[in-house]
Amino acid sequence: MSMEDIVCIARQTLSTILDSGATSTLIMNCDVFWTYSEVEKVNVRTANHGTLATSGHGDCVVDLTINRRTSRVHLMHCLNAPGTFINLLSVGYMLKKGWECNFRPFPACCELVYHNQVLGSLPMLGNLFFVDLKFLTPDSLSIRMKRPEISAFAHVPLSWDLWHAWLGHPSGDAVKYLPIFATGIKLDVSTALQRCEPCIMAKHPRKPYPSSDMPCAMQMLDLIHSDLCGPFPIATPHGKYHFVIFLDDHTNLLNLQLLATRDQALEAWTLVRKRWENHAERTVKVFHSDNGGEFISRAFTESLAAAGIK
Using CB under 5 A, count the residues that bind Zn ion: 3
Three-class secondary structure assignment of the chain: CCHHHHHHHHHCCCCEEEECCCCCCEECCHHHECCCECCCCCEEECCCCCEEECCEEEEEEEEEEECCEEEEEEEEEEEECCCCCCEEEEHHHHHHCCEEEEEECCCCEEEEEECCEEEEEEEEECCEEEEEEEEECHHHHHCCCCCCECCCCCCCCCCHHHHHHHCCCCCHHHHHCHHHHCCCCCCCCCCCCCCCHHHHHHCCCCCCCCCCCCCCCCCCCCEEEEEEECCCCCCCCCCCCEEEEEEECCCCCEEEEEECCHHHHHHHHHHHHHHHHHHHCCCCCEEECCCCCCCCCHHHHHHHHHCCCC
Decide whether 191 or 261 has the Cβ nearer to Zn ion: 191
Selected range binding Zn ion among 91-99, 135-143, 191-199, 293-301, rule: CB under 5 A? 191-199
What residues contact residue 263 under an 8 Å CB cut-off, 6+ apart?
A: 294, 297, 299
**Which among 189, 204, 128 has a CA at the least distance from the CA of 157?**
189
**Residues 37-76 as x/- pattern, contact with Zn ion by CB under 5 A:** ----------------------------------------
Selected range binding Zn ion among 22-30, 162-170, 228-236, 266-274, rule: CB under 5 A? 162-170
Is residue 193 within the footprint of Zn ion (CB under 5 A)? Answer: no
Selected range binding Zn ion among 25-33, 69-77, 161-169, 184-192, rule: CB under 5 A? 161-169
Smallest gap, in angstroms, from Cβ of residue 246 to Zn ion? 34
Identify the residue among 124, 196, 247, 280 touching Zn ion (CB under 5 A): 196
Decide whether 8 or 196 has the Cβ nearer to Zn ion: 196
C-alpha 87/C-alpha 129 separation (Å) is 12
Smallest gap, in angstroms, from Cβ of residue 169 to Zn ion? 3
Selected range binding Zn ion among 69-77, 95-103, 194-202, 219-227, rule: CB under 5 A? 194-202
Selected range binding Zn ion among 195-203, 204-212, 217-225, 297-305, rule: CB under 5 A? 195-203
C-alpha 271/C-alpha 140 separation (Å) is 63
Is residue 109 within the footprint of Zn ion (CB under 5 A)? Answer: no
Is residue 8 within the footprint of Zn ion (CB under 5 A)? Answer: no
Contact yes or no for 265/271 (Cβ under 8 A): no
Decide whether 57 or 164 has the Cβ nearer to Zn ion: 164
Is residue 225 within the footprint of Zn ion (CB under 5 A)? Answer: no
Is residue 199 within the footprint of Zn ion (CB under 5 A)? Answer: yes
Decide whether 83 or 172 has the Cβ nearer to Zn ion: 172
Decide whether 203 or 275 has the Cβ nearer to Zn ion: 203
C-alpha 212/C-alpha 36 separation (Å) is 71
Smallest gap, in angstroms, from Cβ of residue 14 to Zn ion? 45
Smallest gap, in angstroms, from Cβ of residue 196 to Zn ion? 3
Is residue 176 within the footprint of Zn ion (CB under 5 A)? Answer: no
Selected range binding Zn ion among 33-41, 129-137, 168-176, 237-245, rule: CB under 5 A? 168-176
Identify the residue among 97, 134, 169, 225 touching Zn ion (CB under 5 A): 169
Q: Which residues bind Zn ion (CB under 5 A)?
A: 169, 196, 199
